Chain A
Amino acid sequence: MSLIATGTTYLVEVRLRPEFTDAAGLAALAQLQHAGFAGVRAVRISTLYEICGPLNQSHVQQASKELLNDGVTQEFKVLSGPPVLDGMNHWRVEVWLKNTMTDPVGESVRRAIAELGLPEPERVRCGSAYRILGRTTKNILERIVLRTLANPVVHSFTVTEAYD
């Protein structure tokens, strides 16, 4: 896979503030339990945006604030570097559409960023981060994710033990 990109790549994570019920997270929790992950205790989901193009840090901040994030219910951060490891039963599962798949949400976001008057990104991809609390091993969790949250036919995914 070769990706030619002239600009910088940013990763933005948008999540529901902790005081709000994460209905999709609860649904994922039930699915993980159903698939045999007995020790799972909580799941919350964040949306990930990988933005690639001639934007600088403040452009990305502005796009996140005005477009990607809902000021009432959500909070966001522009990620730099990998998440903190050593999770103490905290897991982070990132699921992305494969690069060869069309990403309709990414496409909408790419156009919408340009509408804000910011430089138009070359590419935006959208993914999900499942923040999971539960006792398991990486191998087992990977197997369960393959049965529930990700389909290798269309998705790529990573599992890390990570507290955030």
Chain B
Amino acid sequence: MTECRAAPSDGGALRFTVLPPKELKELGDKLGWSLNSAELEAIRSYFKKVGREPTRGEVETIAQTWSEHCKHKTFNGPIRYSDGKKTQLIRSLFAETIVKATQGLSKPWCLSVFKDNAGIVSFGKGGRWALAVKVETHNHPCAVEPYGGAETGIGGVIRDVLGAGLGAKPVLNTDTFCLARPDYAGALPEGALHPVRTLRGVVAGVRDYGNRMGIPTAGGGLWFDDDYRLNPLVFCGTVGVLPTWAVRKEVKPGDLIVAVGGPTGRDGLHGATFSSATLEGESDRTAVQIGHPLNEKRVLDAMMIARDRKLYRAVTDCGAGGFSSAIGELAKDCGARVELSGAPVKCSDLEPWEIWLSEAQERMVLAVPRKSYAELEKLFHAEGTGCSILGEFTDSGRLVVTLKGAPVADLDMGFLHDGMPKVERRAVWTNGSKPKPRPCGRKSGAADRGRLGSILIRMLGHLNVCSREWVIRQYDYEVQAGTVIKPLQGLRHDGPGDACVIWPAAATGEWEDLSGFSVGHGLNPSYGRLDPYWMAMCCADEALRNLLCVGADISKAVFLDNFCWASPEVPEQLGGLVRAALGCHDAAKGYSVPFISGKDSLYNQSRDEKGRDLAIPGTVLITAMAPVQDITRSVTMDFKGPGNSLFLVGVTKDETGGSLLSQMESCGGEVPKPDPKAAIKAFKAVAGAISKKLVLSAHDLSEGGLGVAVAEMAFSGESGATIELDQVLTSPAMLPDETTLFSESPSRVLLEVSPKDDVALMRALKGVPARRIGSTTANPLIKVSGFDGSIVLETLLVDLKTAWQKTLPELLK
């Protein structure tokens, strides 16, 4: 064992209660606590009442428990919100939007929402199985060390699912990255990494960790916007399967507190407070680690055996805050006595509080009945991983931590979890102050013929549309042999699928049950620049359509929310965040889809090279998951052959605000506004048609609208298409061809149907806005006739596909 570095001098009792407020704040900042003055005051008065000085371990424990990362002060605290018309007090944004919607919907298949480390829903035939799902961000670590940050990000979300209920076996990973363009050529401040390096690093991190864990990474996305250059966003998601009996966990006083997994080192101290502070030039860099997937795999394998032998009663992962938050969380309703000398450590000179708070990865904490410990220990040691006793759960209502008997912390659970003073924040939403650009939608006519074709080609090559094959192929998206609908689809296995479908038969062993599930995503910060409310709505709509287009049962869908925002202390930023949360609430109610889990990451802003604050665009990732009742009825997005009818479901409006067209042609318009009630009615009708096997292929219309969707379906299936824009249902009745082709009106899907089923399809879509707008052809080109009947676009599939495929490889070669 080696000594890692010189021991810090101030590990013991602090001179805390006697310091004047200003000096106390200075001390806190020096030690990296991220506690504000009101919180320091609350701690001071607690210890005055107790009648002694706190130890460093105690203040560290409180600081991390009360951090934005763990307590979500902004989402749970009061906000005075003004939208220009009226001002209202929101007591808790989380309770009044996300939770309220879910409670109102009260879906019986939601087994655990917002309580555990992940949301849990029932799965499969016969009610024997459940799915746990979680999506996390790991933004700040990825900004300074993309590879290690992404590794520990995916490792952390896997442990969340492993710590849900009594532990779920992970069967799917997802990854979504928001980065600056890889060809960004502008200035960067000292120490900031170039986006191309960040992209390579995060892809490699997810690849090396996910592949080594044997979990298919088969869903996600990429979004490029230069305002992410100092604060890239890295979302990692995991879905796991667990038996229904293992959904419930309980801790009994007298149970042993057992740590399993890797040893504890000085790695990642202050991860929780780090991720809650704005990222400045001098960040606390011990917070970044690299992952050890082999250790996590050992823990996973041992835990699944131990779970099925019922050797433990509760489990949670060591994430931010390490043992302190894991044990603090498990012991919340009872109490715990912890003796840290039981913890295996990497280096001998760790301060007690450092052991207690270290964020060394790949560790879990279990509540183990005494009689089961010997068997449990044998099992973990046989897998080659650690297992040791840290103490026991008590009924004292106190958290007592010692090292070789010497006190490290002795805190009241009530104070620790509920003693945090609430800060009222101010939020302002103002709309309409931005300058309006020229409206999109140029005059139609034969002159468009070359122009629309060139716009389409440029759209397909755009970073936010282009092929992600360079990324996807680096992931083992088929391990566990359950990826029955793959992320890459089509004749040559390279088209952009809407979503994957997972059939977790290897995990359940029930290969005669054809139940599967699908996960889709919606993300579009461009809409958010115009209005975060409609961004959230559009993201929910898109995530659902992704599921719809592979044949999932969207009537049993669930949502997960991930908000990434700049500083909530800036009222205008918080105003946008409130708008987005309100959008989530209305989407959940409107689509009748509950949120079951979520996370927020705030303070995503940094000083740029000139010292100005650069905030990320407010970003919501909506992840949707739904069961696929029969995987053999799934559909893909590639055209299946010539001579088939193409039906467009949904109404096309003049909605080009934030659209790809608006970015490429420097124009603007209204932000797309879904109507959830009408949308869900149409979605259900489409789902019915798919389950009747009437649909050969289905694809959702998103960035680039109808034009991009047709092109993707065509080149993936290697069939051409003719489209008649005058057949498209529009509102108003007459739109410029450019608008009809590239508007991003939500809730639309394009279906390919055998002509013999045209009538049956229209019957299935009765009462839903849908029209036959063209057909597939043997000719390898896309031909579009405009409103006046003239040909406005005629482009070879090979040109479209080449444009779509070459962008990332050229930037990353």
Q: Closest residue to A31 on the B side, CB-wise? A: B200
Partner of B2, one of A3, A97, A108, A148: A3
Q: Report if A151 contacts B (CB, 8 A).
A: yes
Which residues from chain B contact A151 at a C-beta distance below 8 Å? Answer: 144-145, 147, 193
CB-nearest residue of chain B to A108: B294
The size bracket of the interface on B is 20 to 34
In the complex, what residues of A have CB within 8 A of residue B3's CB? 2-4
Residues of B within 8 A of A153 (CB): 144-145, 285, 288
Interface residues on A, range: 20 to 34
Tell me, in angstroms, the Cα distance from A99 to B3 when the chains sit together. 10
Inter-chain CA distance A3–B2, complex, in Å, is 6
Q: What separation, in Å, do the CA atoms of A111 and B386 have in the docked complex?
A: 14
Chain B residues whose CB sits within 8 angstroms of the CB of A99 once the complex forms = 4
CB pair B4 A102 closer than 8 Å: no
Q: Which of A100, A122, A123 has the most CB of B within 10 A?
A: A100
Taking CB atoms, residues of chain B closer than 8 Å to A30 are 813
Interface residues of B in 276-312 (CB under 8 A from A): 285-286, 288-295
CB contacts (< 8 Å) of B360 on chain A: these are 102
With A147-B194, A147-B197, A153-B144 known to touch, is A102 a contact of B5 (CB < 8 Å)? no
Take A3-B3, A5-B2, A122-B2 as given contacts and tell me if A101 and B290 are in contact as well, using a CB distance cutoff of 8 Å.
Answer: yes
Q: Is A154 an interface residue (CB 8 A)?
A: yes
For B5, the chain A residues whose CB sits under 8 A away are: 1-2, 100
Q: Does A39 sit at the interface, judged by CB under 8 A?
A: no
* B2→A154 contact, CB < 8 A: no
In the complex, A75 has a CB within 8 A of chain B: no
Q: Does A71 interact with chain B (Cβ within 8 Å)?
A: no
Q: Whose C-beta in chain A lies nearest to the C-beta of B285?
A: A153
B289 lies within 8 A of A102 (CB)? yes
Contact assessment for B288 and A154 in the assembled complex, using a CB-CB cutoff below 8 Å: yes
A102 contacts B292, C-beta separation under 8 Å: yes
- Which residues from A are CB-within-8-Å of B294? 104, 108
Scoring A34, A102, A122 by chain B CB atoms within 10 A of each residue's CB, the highest score goes to A102
The answer to whether the Cβ of B266 comes within 8 Å of any Cβ in the partner chain is: yes
Contact B2 A4, beta carbon cutoff 8 Å:
yes
Near B by CB (< 8 A), chain A positions 16-43 give 30, 34
Cα distance A80–B667 in the bound complex, in angstroms:
66
Does A120 interact with chain B (Cβ within 8 Å)? no
Contact with B along A124-164 (1 / 0, CB 8 A): 00000000000000000000000110010110000000000
Establish whether residues B194 and A104, one from each chain, have CB atoms under 8 Å apart when the complex forms.
no
Partner of A100, one of B193, B266, B295: B266
Cβ-closest chain A residue relative to B288: A153
Given A153-B285, A154-B290, A104 contacting B295 (CB threshold 8 A): yes
Provide the residues of chain B in CB contact with A5, threshold 8 Å.
2
The digit string for A4-17, where 1 denotes a CB below 8 A from any CB of B, is 11000000000000
Complex formed: what's the CA distance from A78 to B201 in Å? 31
Judge if A107 is at the interface, Cβ distance under 8 Å.
yes
- Give the most central of B2, B292, B293: most A CB within 10 Å: B2
Chain A residues, CB < 8 A from B194: 147
- For B1, the chain A residues whose CB sits under 8 A away are 122
Flag B305-330 by CB within 8 Å of A: 1 or 0 each: 00000000000000000000000000
Query: In whole angstroms, what is the CA distance A3 to B144 when docked?
Result: 27
Q: How far is the CA of A110 from the CA of B19 in the complex (A)?
A: 49
Instruction: Say if the beta carbon of B594 comes within 8 Å of chain A.
Output: no
Given A101-B290, A151-B144: 7 more A-B contacts, CB < 8 Å: A2-B6, A3-B2, A5-B2, A97-B290, A100-B4, A102-B265, A154-B145
Counting from the closest, the 9 A-B pairs by CB-CB distance are A104-B292, A153-B145, A153-B144, A154-B145, A2-B3, A153-B285, A151-B145, A153-B288, A3-B2
